[in-house]
């Protein structure tokens, strides 16, 4: 974690406007990942690292058909799993982590994904971001706020944080938004990052937050 910085000036007031704007644009936010239970969401979230959700959604049906749960996956070989998840990238480490996570879920937690942050992060390949996604998506628990590349970019552009480290950004956002909103703030920012606030060429002229965004880009001259 980097040296702690104070919140940017006016961050609290901006956060209230940001929340209202995101709620209006995305009344019923949801994850892009397709999963029917906590284990499937954990697996999909691990696979989504450095990969698009759309690609993950093409891989997981076959994965869950062959290994429906952690007990089945724990018996798979690394080579078998790699052959299924290869297209998600970094498949060596992802396969190793998923096999380790499956074995630990079976041996330590009786085959059930634990609904606790401190236990989730003991699973191979599961850090705070993945744990927060699983806790909210599968259990409705707001223990933290998952910070991915979209949340990081949007939070900085909108002047909600002065940090670049995801852990520090998470702490700032947890101070700015009501706890009950943490999970949905993540979903809404991810959708907003994909629809409007792109990493390159953000669509500022279409953004309802442009009036108070400290880093809005001026309209391009014709």
Binding residues: 197, 204, 207, 213
Say whether 167 sits in a helix, a strand or coil.
helix
Query: Phi/psi of residue 66, each to 5°?
Result: -80, -35
Measured between alpha carbons, how far is 202 from 217 in angstroms, rounded to an integer? 8
Q: How far is CA 152 from CA 31, 42, 120, 162, in A?
A: 17, 21, 22, 10
Q: Report residue 48 as tokens.
A: 């989504």
Active site annotation includes 184: no
Q: What whole-number distance in Å separates Cα of residue 219 and Cα of residue 54? A: 31
As a whole number of angstroms, the distance between CA 38 and CA 19 comes to 27
Which listed residue (94, 148, 152, 184) is catalytic? Answer: 148
Annotated catalytic residue 129: yes
Which of 4, 5, 129, 195 is the catalytic position?
A: 129
Which residue has 């380790």 as its token pair?
A: 100
State the Cα–Cα distance between residues 203 and 97, nearest whole angstrom.
Answer: 37
Contact 121, 159 (CB under 8 A): no
User: Looking at the annotation, which residues are catalytic?
Assistant: 129, 148
């Amino acid at each position: 974690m980097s040296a702690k910085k104070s919140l940017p000036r006016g961050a609290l007031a901006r956060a209230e406007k940001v929340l209202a704007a995101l709620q209006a644009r995305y009344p019923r936010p949801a994850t892009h990942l397709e999963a029917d239970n906590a284990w499937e969401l954990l697996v999909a979230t691990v696979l989504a690292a450095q990969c698009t959700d759309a690609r993950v959604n093409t891989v997981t049906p076959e994965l869950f058909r062959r290994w429906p749960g952690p007990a089945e996956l724990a018996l798979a070989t690394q080579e078998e799993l790699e052959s299924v998840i290869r297209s998600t990238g970094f498949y060596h480490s992802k396969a190793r982590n998923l096999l380790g996570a499956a074995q630990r879920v079976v041996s330590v937690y009786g085959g059930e994904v634990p609904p606790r942050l401190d236990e989730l992060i003991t699973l191979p390949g599961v850090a705070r971001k993945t744990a927060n996604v699983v806790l909210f998506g599968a259990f409705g628990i707001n223990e933290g706020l998952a910070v991915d590349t979209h949340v990081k970019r949007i939070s900085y552009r909108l002047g909600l944080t002065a940090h670049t480290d995801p852990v520090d950004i998470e702490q700032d956002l947890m101070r700015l938004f009501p706890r009950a909103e943490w999970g949905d703030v993540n979903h809404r920012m991810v959708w907003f990052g994909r629809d409007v606030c792109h990493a390159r060429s953000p669509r500022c002229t279409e953004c309802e937050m442009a009036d108070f965004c400290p880093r809005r880009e001026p309209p391009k001259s014709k």
